[in-house]
Structure 1
């Protein structure tokens, strides 16, 4: 069924949602994200007086799960990927894994980074990142990440940090292929390797290391702390239950 966008009624949006659920079998979070785009489009039409009302206004979107559906790597798996990248004959592999997993960059931030964005501020080596929402951030480079980037740059003075074997800028598809190759080399057995898995690992590893949730939110550049909390795979870990913290604080009286 083909319907002109501006002639769409609420029933058409409902049918679109049912099609994604029953025919495409998409996850609730994916459906909710796509419906959010539709809702924003029609909201803009109403604001600009193109439409009198939004056909998506009363459509109930499926609720996203409280935890991220993406699974991060374990500590040992992450170490294996870093080792495989460092030992790879492709000079871009170590930088790719380090920028995604140790800096927590989104894939478009990592592949879009140029040599010219590297600088030094108050004794810290940093990289300037152009992130979501057209926001710019200065991200400090730990020594290991700096070495990985230097290896990828290989003496060049300009151009993309991450490149393909032919010298062009690496894109997300090339990055995914490189990560899958490193997965095979490292012996990490997971169902599906992709770039966001390493950003997820960045967040969960920091949380597992005891870094405060607010500090992790800042490091991941999440606008909403609830986004960071969705990554916390250990929130139900009894070893971290707050009862133990309170009991230790009151130990002298008990």
Structure 2
């Protein structure tokens, strides 16, 4: 699309906003942060990004407030509109992004059977080709579904965050808040295998190049696994697996406060949305406990 470096493209765009549009300092700072963050998530390929790339970005932002997502969408649309107007690229890939709708939608999730199928495919991959890529994907998936980590938390895990045989990890989440998450035996075993492949002086558990695996690459790996499993890739993402973790925990009797801690939610109202997802459990509870259900 374009050979213009992201840093130069973003700086030129912000200069235009300041000089021609008289944008306020706060607006320029917010747009600058949004565009720089998007560039980092795409490994410096924002200026040449496709609509698919941008959709992956927005999947990683799904937990943000609607106002934050709307601002990021506005920044991207105006940025690519500027690149189009200047002849730097021939299209605006952000125009295809849907507008933010008010309210908080119910999270997408997977059934236990579908997750079992994903994990079975992983085991088949390991048996057919037990190489570094399969071992890494096994560890990623076991941590996503087994611990409910956010995509950013997962890909940026320090190498020393998990120290077998200790069955827990220390995770730094939003607001630099640390929390402890338990690890299932399957996740611990998968991480042990991954640790054997990672140099002891590596900063990251999932290194890639000079830094760690990106959220976009994680998104691609999960989609590819779904396709191999026979599950529509459009139905799945790292965040859907986090939702599946939460929904299945509630279905098996997890306390809402405990789940809030595990997910790293600052406000329990964020966690409460999962009580609306597990409608089957609610019906079962009423049937079992309500006096009139005996008739």
Relative to the length of structure 1, the TM-score reads: 0.68
Residue number in structure 1 paired with 2:68:
33
Q: Which TM-score applies when normalising by structure 2? A: 0.59
Distance 1:237 1:208, change over 3 A: closer
Which of 81, 100, 107 aligns to 2:118? It is 81
Aligned residue number for residue 87 of structure 2: none
CA contact (8 A) 2:173 2:179 kept: yes
SS of structure 2 residue aligned to 1:214? helix
SS in 1 for 2:108: coil
1:175 counterpart SS class? helix
1:119 aligns to what SS in structure 2? Answer: coil
Aligned with 2:227 (options 172, 178, 184): 184
- How large is the Cα RMSD of the aligned pairs? 3.4
C-alpha separation between the residues in 1 aligned to 2:154 and 2:162?
12
Question: Unaligned stretches of 5+ in structure 2?
Answer: 1-19, 28-57, 73-99
Deviation at 1:167, TM superposition (A): 9.0
2 CA distance for matches of 1:195 and 1:223? 20
Alignment partner of 2:162 out of 118, 125, 135: 118
How many residue pairs get aligned? The number is 205
Counterpart position of 1:107: 151
Match of 2:176 among 128, 134, 141: 134
Question: Higher helix share goes to which structure?
Answer: 2
CA distances 1:5-48 after superposition (whole Å, capped 9, x unpaired): 2598xxxxxxxxxxxxxxxxx99x864334689xxxxxxxxxxx
Counterpart for residue 215 of structure 1: 258
Structure 1 unmatched ranges of 5 or more: 9-25, 38-60
How far has the Cα of 1:240 moved from its partner?
3.3
SS in 2 for 1:188: coil
